[in-house]
Structure 1
Amino acid sequence: MKVKEIIVVEGKDDTVKIKLAVNADTIETRGSAVDDRVIEQIRHAQQTRGVIILTDPDYPGQRIRSLIDQHVPGCRHAFLPKSAAIEKHGRGVGVEHASIEAIRNALRDAQYMQDEAEEQITKEDLVAAGLVGGPVSSARREALGQKLKIGYVNGKQLHKRLLMFQITKQQFAEALQEVLEEEQG
């Protein structure tokens, strides 16, 4: 599988794993302190070939993703479920621990974030769905994020992520229904 866009990852181990999964070029941020030189590289890549951001499904990965999105708008975002990126012994989480198939799926499902989404899903909808403030909220959010291909976020960030990806109320309801059915299943 060849990927036209340049894939932004955190480090060299991520690059090695990406190149096993797909034929693509990468830019490495080398950690969460993304310097101006790397931002300029990403900006240039976005202007010439396009960019897909694929960072680890953890807090530093989300921080890097947000920082890049702030400085280089219009990038596509690929998300790995945390469960697909855990090291065999459970000590680490990252792109480098994901399977080839999980990486290919994440890249295939990469989406554009858009801040201008008109609010369709309310915070009250999230509370009513048991996605915030409940005993199973975290697991439910994780399952919903996988279904909608928007990655895992905490309760405060879920509403923003749904709006950024312009998830419609119908898409939300359908994905939530699947999650609830799997919980009962």
Structure 2
Amino acid sequence: MKIKEVIVVEGRDDTAAIKRAVNADTIETGGSAINQKTIEKIRLAQSKRGVIIFTDPDYQGERIRKIISKAVPGCKHAFITQADGTKKDDIGVENASVETIIRALSDVRTEMAESAGEITADDMLAYRLTSGADSKERRIKLGESLGIGYANAKQMLSRLNAFQISREEFLKAIEALDQEEGKS
């Protein structure tokens, strides 16, 4: 599988994992100490070929994702779950299987400028995605289902709208989540 866009990863091991799974070029951020020179490389790649941000499913990965998204608007995003990226208590893209990486790159989402989206804070409350004993678990499952990764309630609302998840797609995912919970 050949990827046209340049994939932004955190380090060498992530690049190796990506190259095992697909034919693609990468830019490494060098971990969380992302500098202006790297941002400029990412901007150039975005203008020429497009960029897919594929960082680790942890706090630092999310921090890097936000820095790049703010500096280079319109990037695509690939996500893996913490479970899919964990090996012996180490979380990272480098631990994901070839199948997981291919699936994540097949399900990329493009971030759009934030707008008053179709999903609201009231929806988050009504569908038990915030302020409930099971809200974190529901957000984890919703993020997996929609391919947008895990986020806290405020970030989840922002992602739902930034990735232009339609109300219909959101409600369908909520219905599937409710059905799954009803079976357990």
> Given the two structures, how large is their TM-score scaled by the length of structure 2?
0.96
Which runs of structure 2 are paired with 1:149-168 in the superposition (5 Å)? 149-168=147-166
Whether the 8 Å contact between 2:136 and 2:152 is mirrored in structure 1 is yes
Which residue pairs with 1:99 in the alignment?
Answer: 97
Give 2:44's aligned amino acid. Answer: H
SS in 2 for 1:7: strand
Deviations 1:104-157 (A, max 9, x none): 011111111012433211111111111111111111101101111111101121
The 5 Å alignment of 1:137-176 reads 137-176=135-174
**Aligned residue number for residue 78 of structure 2:** 78
CA deviation vs aligned residue, 1:1-46 (integer Å, no higher than 9, x gap): 1111110000101001000000111100011121011001111111
| Percent of residue pairs identical | 50
Matches within 5 A, 1:9-24: 9-24=9-24
Q: Is the 8 A contact 2:7 2:54 kept in 1?
A: yes
**Distance of 1:81 and 1:177 partners within structure 2:** 21
What is the letter of the counterpart of residue 60 of structure 2? P
How many residue pairs get aligned? The number is: 183
Which deviates the most, 37-46 or 114-123? Answer: 114-123
- Counterpart CA distance in 2 for 1:128 and 1:75 is 31
* RMSD of equivalent CA atoms: 1.0
Q: Which moved more, 1:6-15 or 1:109-118?
A: 109-118
2:25 is matched with which residue?
25
Q: Which residue of 1 aligns with 2:120?
A: 122
Instruction: Answer whether contact 2:42 2:72 (CA < 8 A) is retained.
Output: yes
Q: Secondary structure at the match of 1:47?
A: helix
Asked whether the equivalents of residues 2 and 24 of structure 1 are also in contact (C-alpha less than 8 Å), the reply is yes
Q: Gaps spanning 5+ residues in structure 1: where? A: none
Shift of 1:183: 1.6
Q: Is the 8 A contact 1:144 1:179 kept in 2?
A: yes
Aligned to 1:131: 129
Gap runs ≥5 in structure 2: none
Return the letter of the residue paired with 1:33: A
Contact preservation (8 Å) 2:74, 2:113 = no
Note if contact 1:115-1:163 (Cα within 8 Å) is conserved in structure 2.
Answer: no
Shift of 1:172: 0.8
For residues 72-119 of structure 1, give each alpha carbon's deviation from its aligned partner in whole angstroms, at most 9, with x where no partner exists.
1111111111221111x2x11110111111100111111110124332
Contact 1:114 1:164 (8 Å CA) reproduced: yes
Contact 2:114 2:158 survives alignment (8 Å): no
Q: Letter of the aligned partner of 2:158 in structure 1?
A: K
The one-letter code matched in structure 2 to 1:82 is Q
Match status 1:51 vs 2:68? no
> Residues 141 and 152 of structure 1 are in contact (CA less than 8 Å); yes or no, is this contact kept in structure 2?
yes
- CA contact 2:8–2:51 (8 Å) conserved in 1: yes
